[in-house]
Structure 1
Amino acid sequence: MNQTHSLVLILNLTLLCMVAIHGTTGAPIQSDFIRSSCKATHYPALCVQSLMTYAPSVRHSPRQLAQAALTVSLTRARSTSAFINQLSPKPDQARSRQAGAIKDCLDTMQDGVDRLRQSIQEMNRMGRIHTRQFRWHLSNVQTWVSAALTDENTCLDSVSHNAGPAVRAAVRQRVVEVAQVTSNALALVNRLAPRY
């Protein structure tokens, strides 16, 4: 019994020494990296909140962080697009101004989803930094994410001018958040541009 207690005590001391020498799992440091990187965005609190779960896979990689931000944006854009699709009017209401606004909003959101999906695929083709290939693929990503942000704003404009208050408020709440995470993703993508 005495030997068992001694063995447990030795194991605990060994574990404490290993933690003291090697540090913790790195999660606080990874969290600091995300917080620091998110300061470059227009919506830093939302950036941190939406990307913190990606900390273990992002580690300290600006490219992985940008990829995670694009993934967040794509996921939320798809969800919002599905929500707007549910608002599509019945056939007998299809000619109203609100119906047209919802259709326009849905079309532009789906276009934005496609551009974000393309951007994520393009990130995987970038290659090594400071190469012509990297700059070309990065330019494509920047262009497509900017276009997705424009699509989201176009959706908002259409609904703001032509939909009733309830629909306008419901769509606005979701699309504004998508636009904010897309803006954050673009800021993190822009940080990948090589400095010369």
Structure 2
Amino acid sequence: MATKIILSSLLFSLYFLATIAENNANNSTTSTSFVQASCRATTYPTVCIQSLTRYAGSIKHNPRQLAHTALAVSLHSAWSTRVFIHKLTNFKGLKRREYQAIRDCLEEIADSVDQIGQSIREIKSMGQGPPGQDFFLHISNMQTWVSAALTDCTTCLDELSDTTYNRRIKHSVRSRVTNVAQITTNALALINHLVA
């Protein structure tokens, strides 16, 4: 059941990203400036700008749309990383400890995918009206799930800290998981900005 929910969230996110990228013909300078200004307040502004500017035409000046798009980009990145790590479990040259570390990392990233997917469902269920008690409950839920997804990324990276692991595999996984963590950190900052 959870796999179906995750898959439906991923498919929706891919559709969502494709739709807003298609609408990017409406990308005005002011929309791009809004995204760039919002990204400057995140932990990884360059990553934020690179990952979200292409969607500026659909984001316009809407902070909620910006946070939603950031979550969709985060989900796509986490899902792609999960697929990559899953393929590594079939690599024949892994030592037993390396295989176990990669399996553990795969579980952590799969959890991240689930938690980011829950956050996307949460932001979609938020009403469009003025902030009320439900608004803050939705924000709190998203903050909890995205923070948990970040913890899972950190745990995955910790699994790969042993210096005896295959350098190429370790570097490939670390760089992808680090990218997921940075994009997800930025998404959390943009969610937090909704409260401000």
Q: Deviations over 1:88-119 (max 9, x none)?
A: 046x8887110110000000000000000000
- Quote the Cα distance in structure 1 between the aligned partners of 2:190 and 2:131: 17
Shift of 1:182: 0.4
- Quote the Cα distance in structure 2 between the aligned partners of 1:77 and 1:188: 18
Shift of 1:164: 2.2
TM-score, length basis structure 1: 0.81
- Quote the Cα distance in structure 1 between the aligned partners of 2:34 and 2:90: 45
Q: Which residue of 2 aligns with 1:126?
A: 126
- Quote the Cα distance in structure 2 between the aligned partners of 1:114 and 1:139: 17
Shift of 1:26: 6.0
Q: Deviations over 1:153-172 (max 9, x none)?
A: 11111022273222111101
The SS at the match of 2:186 is helix
| Alignment map for 1:4-83 (pairs within 5 Å) | 27-83=28-84
- CA RMSD in angstroms, aligned pairs only: 1.7
Q: Which residue of 2 aligns with 1:137?
A: 138
Q: Which moved more, 1:73-82 or 1:128-137?
A: 128-137
Q: Which residue of 2 aligns with 1:183?
A: 185
- Quote the Cα distance in structure 2 between the aligned partners of 1:104 and 1:93: 18
Shift of 1:120: 0.3
The letter for the 2-side match of 1:101 is: A
- Quote the Cα distance in structure 2 between the aligned partners of 1:163 and 1:187: 33
- Quote the Cα distance in structure 1 between the aligned partners of 2:182 and 2:72: 14
Q: Which moved more, 1:94-103 or 1:146-155?
A: 94-103
Identity of aligned residues (%): 47
- Quote the Cα distance in structure 2 between the aligned partners of 1:83 and 1:26: 32
The letter for the 2-side match of 1:83 is: F
Aligned residue pair count: 169
Task: List gaps (5 residues or longer) in structure 1.
Answer: 1-24
Q: Deviations over 1:66-97 (max 9, x none)?
A: 0000011000000000000000046x888711
Task: List gaps (5 residues or longer) in structure 2.
Answer: 1-25
Q: Which residue of 1 aligns with 2:98?
A: 98
Structure 1 residues 155, 58: CA separation in 2 closer, same or farther (over 3 Å shift)? same
Q: Deviations over 1:141-191 (max 9, x none)?
A: 010001001111111110222732221111011111111000000000000
TM-score, length basis structure 2: 0.81
Q: Which residue of 1 aligns with 2:117?
A: 117
- Quote the Cα distance in structure 2 between the aligned partners of 1:26 and 1:77: 26
Answering whether residue 158 of structure 2 is matched by residue 172 of structure 1, we say no
Asked whether the 8 Å contact 1:41–1:47 carries over to 2, the reply is yes
The letter for the 1-side match of 2:182 is: Q
Rg larger in 1 or in 2? 1
